[in-house]
Amino acid sequence: MLHDPALALELCDRLVMMEKGRIASVLALKGTSLLQIEQFLEPLCPGIRVKKDAETGSFYCIQTHMKC
């Protein structure tokens, strides 16, 4: 379990959002658009911006306006 979205994007193939100890939603990263990932993480981290590394295909976030 990770609470850091930047680390989760780097290491995980799925994101799981929990609320009150229960799974609220799940997002598989493979085949998912940057916008979909941003929308998934927005409630947790308003202002998050996600990018994809062209060489590795890995996702990462830019934390300029992010407040997690």
Query: Could you give the 3-state DSSP secondary structure of residue 60?
Result: strand
Q: pLDDT, tens digit, for every residue of 2-13? A: 788 889 998 999
Please check whether residue 67 lies inside any domain of the structure: no
**Is 45 within the bounds of a domain?**
yes
Are 48 and 4 within 8 A, CB to CB?
no
Q: What is the pLDDT of residue 40?
A: 95
The reported pLDDT for the residue numbered 64 is 53
Q: Is residue 39 part of a domain?
A: yes
Domain for residue 16, yes or no? yes
Report yes or no on 68 lying in a domain. no
The string of pLDDT tens digits covering residues 30-58 is 999 999 999 999 988 888 999 999 999 99
Tell me the pLDDT band of 29, cut-offs 50, 70 and 90. very high
What's the total number of domains in the chain?
1
